[in-house]
Structure 1
Amino acid sequence: MKICKETFNTSPNEGFCASQQSRYYGYKLHAICTIQGVFRSFDLSRASVHDIHYLNDVKNKFEDVVILGDKGYLSQSIQMDLFNYQNIRLEVPLRKNQIEYQPQAYILRKSRKRIETLFSQLCDQFKIRNNYAKTFVGFKTRILAKITALTVIQLINKQNNRNINNLKISIT
């Protein structure tokens, strides 16, 4: 198969999803969104690229913010670099087997759940995992269209004084 394999840098490859303990073939979506669930920035990478590499792009786009990350972003050196470079505080829950483990604050867990729900909506309602593009440009375009559609629905909900994340309601 030659789908999306125009160049080595854009070709899909094999990755591992630690939360589902499974291997997959394709790409990885990295995103920054507000606590309310509105996308601010996103990028695609090959599946094998570690999550931490996306943070190099983040430190050039944001400053003086708190970013909630999952355990894939657990790196004290990266956390210090972000803080020293742009005053970005990266909040990542510690693993239970770590020496300084403490449960993450409730407000951070609740905010993180909203973000996870946003990704679930992209997967379930917008079928972001189902993409039948033949080229990488087509793939990127379809991903962008799905994220744009989600954002437009959020905007319509906000203008009509509804919960912005209630995406299944009728727009009419």
Structure 2
Amino acid sequence: MGMLLKLVNGKKTIEVGVFTGYSLLLTALSIPDDGKITAIDVDRKTYEMIGLPIIKKAGVEDKINFIESQALPVLDQLLEDNEGSFDFGFVDADKGNYWNYHERMMKLIKVGGMVIYDNTLWGGYVALPEEAVPEKKRAMTKSILEFNDSISAYSRVEISHASVGDGMLICRRIR
């Protein structure tokens, strides 16, 4: 992810879903000193307990604007005066809203910018027949499969699916 940030000269980035702040730290370390990250998560607690002390120790806290909120209202608000102004985005929030996030991210990210969606292989469940997926995982598996199918037909991006960890879908906005 750090390499991709550098390839797009990422300076103004957005992260939807922070959790512990691991990817946020990686982003903050990869962007220039004057770079900024808008980080959105519904829960600040885990981030403050686990990630923030490390981010402070790394000296990159000033690059981060953490917004504790549901993501969709914040993204809608950002669209009012930030359309096409972000270089890079990372989405690792509620998977059932990935398409809603994507529609907004494609307006926020500039042409040539990238968005990475995490967990798009969903523990390998997306490759299994439905009856082989545990019942409690089926709804989310279906959502991720629908997202993967929809984005593969989306004409405004070039995509690459990296089978690293739980899968990352890399989207480069082309128009």
| TM-score normalised over the length of structure 2 | 0.32
Identify, as 1 or 2, the structure richer in strand. 2
Q: Which has the higher Rg, Structure 1 or Structure 2?
A: 1
| TM-score normalised over the length of structure 1 | 0.32
Identify, as 1 or 2, the structure richer in helix. 2
